[in-house]
Amino acid sequence: MVSVYGTLGPSCAHSAILAEMLRLGMTGVRLNLSHGSLMESAPAIEALRQAERITGKKADLLIDMQGPELRIGALREPLMLPEGGEIDLKALPLPGVVSAALAPGSELLLDDGKLLLRCLDASRAAVIRGGTLESRKSVAVPGLSVTAPPLTDLDRENLRHAAAMGVTGVMQPFVRSAEDLRQVRRAMAEAGCAHLRLFAKIEDAHGVAMLPQLLPAADEIVIARGDLGNAMPLWQLPAAQKRIAAACRAAGKPFMVVTQMLQSMTHSPVPTRAEVSDVFNAVLDGAASVMVTGETAVGEYPTQVIRYLAATAAEASRYLSHL
């Protein structure tokens, strides 16, 4: 059976909504800790527990760590970036390692690549692909390698509370080596949660290259197509996904596919045909899990998202059973 995950957020963090999502086939939820601590999320987790009591169904709870991922800092209010305009880079709270790497012609991909800036000089950038930028969204500079430790102080604090909060799995972003995963496992053991499953998120070209050594060190591989799609031309992403899936199958390692699986449903009650095909094909490729993120966290139709995700995964599983 394919596991079906939603992401907890303001749109669905209510017991009645979560109960309906569980009835429709959701088997677990992801909690994104890039924006806060596990303890701050206690009300949302309690809503999940109440939904479990209502339905009699248990749900996995995965925590998505901060890790070495690069993100925009806090903004006083969402920042409009009009396409074709320019922006003063000082208005962007960029990580120091990003600011130091910028040069004329450098590209900045923001919010999983939804926004694109191109540096004109040390202080200005042209807005190539515009939109609204919010606090703590991802930032990537193609070709930039980050050497930050795999865990932040907040990550370690969150691990200390994980067992008591009923967490069942830890998602480690931007995994670069088996040593990254060994460090996370040591931290989990020190925090009393060594029994939790460890999910290794593949989010850049280095992670793809190091996949053979990551396979035995992780419990499940995550094909995280948001930042992975920033690390290469988008038309190369499907082939990268196929190669990772094939390597996981050969090694007998479960894998998850995530990011923009039903993106249009953030604002639409029905998905596109292409999105449904994407989910179906991920299961045909052997995915053990499929996950949506913003579609349920901040989208307008969280229950419908799970309905389509779970039904499509089930249909793909039925198709496989008759081959």
- Residues marked active site are found at 30, 71, 201, 259
Q: Is 87 helix (H, G, I), strand (E, B) or coil?
A: strand
For residue 274, what are the contacts with CB-CB under 8 A and spacing of at least 6? none
d(CA 41, CA 38): 5
| Four-CA torsion 57, 165, 287, 234, nearest 10 degrees | 130
Q: How many CA atoms lie within 13 A of 67 on its CB side?
A: 23
Dist. CA 264–CA 299, nearest whole Å: 9
- For 157, which DSSP code? H
Residue 162 has φ and ψ, to the nearest 5°, of: -60, -50
Alpha helices in the chain (DSSP H): 15-23, 42-55, 96-101, 153-162, 178-190, 205-209, 211-214, 225-230, 237-251, 273-284, 294-297, 302-321
Phi/psi at 100 (nearest 5 deg)?
A: -70, -25
Q: How many CA atoms lie within 13 A of 94 on its CB side?
A: 20
Tokens of residue 149, six digits? 């430790």
Query: How many residues can be counted in the chain?
Result: 323
Closest by Cα among 164, 184, 152 to 39 = 164
Question: What DSSP designation does 92 have?
Answer: S
